[in-house]
Amino acid sequence: MTEERLMPSSPVQGDGRVVLITGATAGLGRHLAGRLATPDTVLLLHGRDPAALHDLSLRLKEKGATVHTYCADLASLDEVRDLGRRVVDEHRRIDVLINNAGVGPGAEGAGREASKEGHELRFAVGYLAPYVLTGLLLPALRCSAGARVINVGSAAQIELDHDDPEMTAYYDGWVAYGRAKLALASFSRDLADELKPSGIAVNCVHPADLMDTALVRDTGLAPQSTVTQGGDAVLALLRLPFTESGTGGYFNGLERAEPHEDVQDAVKRRRLHGMTERLLSGR
């Protein structure tokens, strides 16, 4: 870890940006939506509960924000693809994409769960969904001058088992969660390299340790930090210019940090990319 530190973010001033947040109806996503809601911000909010989306939309519109809601279950790749197409059809430009949605480790001893296509659920929602969605949104991101992609990750990154990526032989919720977060951090590094010539910054952030959210409470562990602290880390990355935030970085809260060694290994990232494409193609 270096001594470089981002400054905490106060409530964000509106600047006309179009911001898409996945998992916006609870926890960190809901908090971010509230802090980004200003009269000249266009919020594109994703959730899987239409009633919760409607409630959130009404609350943020009272603050003067323009809000568009998108209901989709990210445990279904068909719905992820439909979400991406709908957003691009309706919005020529996206300035900020916050891939926040995910599934936590779950209760101790809970068994393996599968997505609609049969993929291990945490890997599907926490990695395959943002991988597919971001790819579909690239045309709109490229239309923005200085777009930002922020992938909400975790310090709990765990080495992948390429012989059993779907965890059919062995399952543990924390391992599944950690593998999804390692894959997301690796994807962030590769996407940053791809998009750097376009001036699009891609970074991955562990917002805070064990934030007070349902995801953490479901594990039975006591929260150690607030959602506001996590929000500060995400919003700090939005506030800084590209020359200061950089791209391809991994942040632990407000500090630039080193991800798992596999994230920094180009050979292992290429192997993950190949595995991902095989999973998505059904091979």
Pick the CATH number of 18-281 from 3.40.50.150, 3.30.870.10, 3.40.50.2000, 3.40.50.720: 3.40.50.720
pTM of this structure: 0.92
Q: Which helix (H) or strand (E) holds 252?
A: strand 250-252
The mean of the pLDDT values for the chain is 91
- Confidence band for 159, pLDDT divided at 50, 70 and 90: very high
The confidence score (pLDDT) of residue 137 equals 98
The confidence score (pLDDT) of residue 15 equals 63
The confidence score (pLDDT) of residue 8 equals 46
- For the stretch 190-215, pLDDT in tens is 999 999 999 999 999 999 988 878 77
Token readout for 114 is: 């599968």
Least confident of 5-14, 90-99, 198-207, 211-220: 5-14
Domain ranges of the chain: 18-281
